[in-house]
Structure 1
Amino acid sequence: MSIFNQILELDEDDTHDFSREMVEEYYSQAAQTFKDMDAALAKKDLTKLSDLGHFLKGSSATLGVTRVQNSCEKIQRYGQLRDEEKGIDLDNKQALDLIAQLVTQVKSEYAAAEKWMRNWYKSE
C-alpha cells in the first residue's frame, strides 16, 4: 500500500489520471507477459522465462504489487537454474516444473491485485 500511495501522490488532482494511466499500462504489460510466459513455457525456454519474470517483477515493484513481484523474482531465478531459498542449482526439468507452478500462482496473485486496483479506482 505504501508504494501505491506514493504513486497516488504523483497525481496532480483528484481525478488520478496519472496513476490510472500507470496502472492501465501495468494491466496491459501483465496480460502480454502472461501470454509470453505461456509460450516460453511451452517451448521450455528458460532464458525467456527468466527475462519475463525479471520484467514483470520490475513493473510489479513499481506499483507495490509485492506478491506478484516476489513470485516473478522466483521465476527469474528458476529460469537461471537457481533456487535461492534452498541455495541449490536446478536442472532444466526441475526449473520448468517450478516455473509452471509459479506461473499459475502469479496469475492468481495478479488477478487479485488487478481486482483490488480496479475497485479502488471505481470507488474514487
Structure 2
Amino acid sequence: MFDVGLGEMAVLVVLALVIFGDKLPQVAGQAGRMLRQFRQMANSAKADLQEGLGPEFKDFDIADLNPKAFVRKHLLEDDDDFLNSKNGLFDDEPALAPAGGELASGERPPFDPEAT
C-alpha cells in the first residue's frame, strides 16, 4: 500500500505514538469521520452533476472522464457491428489486399479513407 514497506510502517507507527501519545485513538476516529464526510461530499457532488446534466446523461459515469477508461470504452471494446459484418468490412468499405501479399503488376495498393 503506497509502496510502504514493513520497516517504514513500523517507524510511522512509533512516530505516531510519540507525537500523539494518549490522543491517538481520538485522532484516528477524527480521521475516519473526515474520510467518511469526504466520501459523502463526493457522492453528493456526483449525484448533483448527473441530475444537472438531465435524462440524456443518466448512464454517465464520472469514471468515463478518466483517459484510460475512455480509451478502453470507446476504442478497445469489441464493436458488435464490426464483428457481425462479413470479413470485418461494411458494405460501403473497399476490400483490402491480404496482409503480407504482394501486389500484381499494375494493381493499385489498398487505400483506407479513414487513415488520411
For this structure pair, what is the TM-score category when the shorter chain's length is used for normalisation? 0.3 to 0.5
Higher-RCO chain (CA-CA 8 Å, sequence separation at least 6): 1
Q: Which has the larger radius of gyration?
A: 2
Q: Higher helix fraction: Structure 1 or Structure 2? A: 1
